[in-house]
Amino acid sequence: MTRTSTSGTPASPASTAGRLDDIGYITFDFGNTLVPVDRAALRRVVDLTGAWTIRHLEPVPIETFHAVWAEERERQFREEIPRFREADLAIRFGRVIARLRGMASPPPDLAWDDAAAAERCNPGEIAAAVEVYSRSFVEAIPPPPDVGPLLARLAAARRLGILSNWPFAATIDRYVEAAGWAEHLTAVVVSQRIGSIKPHPSIFAAAQAALGAPTPAVCLHVGDDWAADVVGAIWAGWRAAHVRGRPEDSPLPSSDADGSVEADLELASLADLEGALPPAPPVPEARAHAPEQ
């Protein structure tokens, strides 16, 4: 996926490859960079959510919930990702609940009538379902034990943040708090809050502002998705580290290297980042973690 300028024509990235001695700011993708998410793990999250849904909202077989959920998830990805928009979790639950209550889904070439779907469920039900999904993710997928210590060491001399595409930002906030990572982070920037997904330049601009508005060239973004993380960072003028060690069966969206840009670092795993960086520059301003508004 190639980023274009606001006029619709391809933009030209600044050449930053190889110059890493002045990196003072690092952002990390969340899913499959900080937190591996394989198919079995995400299935546990959907199992917990489905069990709550059929117990509290609509008594259908769990297999029916899984099938409807998967169809609406894929539909959202198909429709929203090309527009650089997040697959909003509340919208998905509205559609899923409406279908469980008898509403037919539209053909693939037609858009959902979300107003009609809303007539079959109320905002309170949707909000409760989203909360269950969010808390189920934190419960079902424990943080890797080596990530916290890595963040602590890097944060001693650099400002760190999370910069992630994710359908419900509060999930990442909760995960960060539960894992004990908050004290190491200056910012948590998530697509659902910003209104656009990586690789769109607006989300990198939001992260830059949340980190204290450093120049792009001193910012490094670390992620596993080539188009979202590497291409997005390079076209924003940042440096980019590509992590290749994502779970092979992960259901999270991803893309392969296409040769359109060159990553500054190629890492077999996140654990290799620390050794690949030169000594840190002078410590940036004091960290003050707060999710972006």
pLDDT value at 8 more than 70: no
Q: What is the pLDDT of residues 118-169, one digit of tens each?
A: 999 999 999 999 999 999 999 999 999 999 999 999 999 999 999 999 999 9
Higher pLDDT, 21 or 284: 21
Q: Per residue in 22-48, is it b (16+ CB within 10 Å) or e — as a string?
A: ebbbbbbbbbbbbbbbbeebbeebbeb
At 287 the pLDDT is 53
Answer whether 164's CB lies under 8 Å from 172's CB.
Answer: yes
pLDDT value at 111 more than 50: yes
pLDDT tier for residue 6 given thresholds of 50, 70 and 90: very low
**In this structure, what token pair is assigned to residue 176?**
């960060």
Radius of gyration of the chain (CA): 20
| This prediction's pTM | 0.89
Q: What is the CATH number of domain 25-37+143-276?
A: 3.40.50.1000
At 82 the pLDDT is 93
pLDDT tier for residue 16 given thresholds of 50, 70 and 90: very low
Q: What is the pLDDT of residues 199-221, one digit of tens each?
A: 999 999 999 999 999 999 999 99
Q: What is the pLDDT of residues 184-193, one digit of tens each?
A: 999 999 999 9
Counting other chains too, the contacts that 80-84 makes at CB distance below 8 Å and 24 or more residues apart are 80/197, 81/197, 81/253, 84/196, 84/197, 84/199, 84/200
pLDDT value at 83 more than 70: yes
Query: What DSSP string runs through 29-96?
Result: -TBTTTB---HHHHHHHHHHHHHHHHHHT----HHHHHHHHHHHHHHHHHHHGGGT----HHHHHHHH
Answer whether 150's CB lies under 8 Å from 271's CB.
Answer: yes
d(CA 50, CA 48): 6
**In this structure, what token pair is assigned to residue 113?**
């009538």
Q: 89-100 and 62-80 are packed helices; what angle lies between their axes, rounded to 10 degrees?
A: 140
At 200 the pLDDT is 97
Where do the domains of the chain lie? Answer: 25-37+143-276, 39-140
At 212 the pLDDT is 95
At 292 the pLDDT is 52
pLDDT value at 284 more than 80: no
pLDDT value at 15 more than 60: no
pLDDT tier for residue 21 given thresholds of 50, 70 and 90: confident
pLDDT tier for residue 18 given thresholds of 50, 70 and 90: low
pLDDT value at 289 more than 90: no
At 283 the pLDDT is 60
Percent of the chain exceeding pLDDT 70 equals: 89
